[in-house]
Chains A and B, each alone.
Chain A
């Protein structure tokens, strides 16, 4: 059994970290900005939350260290998503879609019945 199976459901912070790394490898600061941008300013990941989340994700093997490309600030450590990480994101999105579908379905029935 893979280590990541018990990670679902993901917290919003974990979800946005993984989703932003799905696009491309990034450093901590880039992840923070990306999460804020994608959520329209709603999700601001604090430094403590991000730092501990990155350590947890590394331990679970869903992200990995990524060599800092030439010409970039080598002070900033970079991270990339792993195959396990991609699997987690897909499983989470499937879970969220199911929730969304059931919820919408229930709402439409409820409204039809006029309650």
Chain B
């Protein structure tokens, strides 16, 4: 049997992973089920007979195969099917959609706050890495420096924005 694959493009931001989940879930409701991701290219499989709830997890420290398998097995025991990963840290799971159910990976406020804080430290690390790369690039002479500065100004703005957004989320939850 051949299955129809379709592609969609979306720039997903680390501090908006819930919006990405919503987007995937809306597609699944239309019969397009997410299967893999390559930077901004999402591959879907068309199948009108099913519908899934997708969830995205951020989990580091899964570099060795055995640890990753343990992680996937635990989620599987809880009814989640592993879909794929993006980089080493982002992992996509799904389970069959059921009317009136809204399954979550994080079921209490404390662990959800801890998740946001983990994502926040990722952004902080990216920020510092880019700062390092930028100072390296700026050591080159010539007018190219203005272009480099402009690119980095944008990157820092985006990362800073994400950091502040997550901060707000955490604050609202601890109020």
Contacts and interface: CB of A to CB of B under 8 A. Distances in A.
For A27, A44, A48, which residue has the most chain B Cβ atoms within 10 angstroms? Answer: A48
Interface string A30-51: 0010000000000011111111
A44 B105 CA distance: 11
Contacts of A76: 73, 77
Nearest to A33: B77
A68 B77 CA distance: 17
Interface in B112-158: 114-115
Interface string B69-80: 011011101101
B105 A77 contact: no
B73 A48 contact: no
B74 A28 contact: yes
A55 B71 CA distance: 11
B59 interface: yes
Size bracket, chain A contacts: 20 to 34
Contacts of A32: 77-78
Contacts of B80: 47
Interface in B55-111: 55, 57, 59, 61, 70-71, 73-75, 77-78, 80, 93, 103-108, 110-111
Query: 6 closest Cβ contacts across the A-B interface?
Result: A48-B105, A46-B107, A29-B77, A47-B78, A49-B111, A47-B75
Interface of B: 55, 57, 59, 61, 70-71, 73-75, 77-78, 80, 93, 103-108, 110-111, 114-115
13 contacts: A13-B107, A32-B78, A46-B78, A46-B107, A46-B111, A47-B93, A47-B105, A48-B59, A48-B107, A49-B108, A50-B78, A77-B70, A77-B74
